[in-house]
Amino acid sequence: MGLIARVIEASGIPTVCMTSAWDITAAVRPPRSLYVHHPLGHQTGAAGDLAGQKAIVRAALEAAPALARGEIRALPFRWKGPAAAGWEARAYTRRETPTTADGKPNRG
């Protein structure tokens, strides 16, 4: 999405990417991004969680205008429910697992 966002921005349309892979997003360098600590593919929340989805989208729309060019900002949402524990271990390698409060990947 970051590559597409750059092309769209080049035509004068502002964009914001939603991501749950901080390291990949940092490598691609989209114009501006919002990180959500959720499993890959679930940046806007769990299926059927309308209230949670609305909260994430609302927070993204509120945060987007203040993002600096090239910035990745973490939104304060964490995955919940029975699959919450350990989803990172299933989705990332040990070196890439986001462990810091702002979602930046563990480099250890």
**pLDDT tens profile 42-94:** 899 888 899 999 999 999 999 999 999 999 999 999 887 655 556 665 555 55
Q: Please answer whether residues 54 and 46 qualify as being in contact, where contact means their C-beta atoms are separated by less than 8 angstroms.
A: no
Mean pLDDT taken over the chain: 82
Query: How many beta carbons lie within 10 A of that of residue 43, not counting itself?
Result: 21
Here the tokens at position 6 are 């750059």
Q: What pLDDT is attached to residue 16?
A: 94
What would the mean pLDDT of 19-39 be, rounded to a whole number? 91
Helix (H) or strand (E) holding 32: strand 32-37
Q: What pLDDT is attached to residue 105?
A: 56
- For residue 21, tell me if it sits in a domain: yes
96 pLDDT exceeds 60? no
- For residue 69, tell me if it sits in a domain: yes
Tell me the C-alpha distance between 54 and 82, whole Å: 21
Per the model's pLDDT, the better-predicted residue between 38 and 1 turns out to be: 38
- For residue 49, tell me if it sits in a domain: yes
Q: What pLDDT is attached to residue 1?
A: 79
Q: What pLDDT is attached to residue 3?
A: 85
- For residue 42, tell me if it sits in a domain: yes
Tell me the C-alpha distance between 7 and 17, whole Å: 13
Q: Classify 75 as helix, strand or coil.
A: strand
Tally of domains within the chain: 1
- For residue 65, tell me if it sits in a domain: yes
Q: What pLDDT is attached to residue 74?
A: 94
Q: What pLDDT is attached to residue 80?
A: 78
Domain membership of residue 78 as a residue range: 2-96
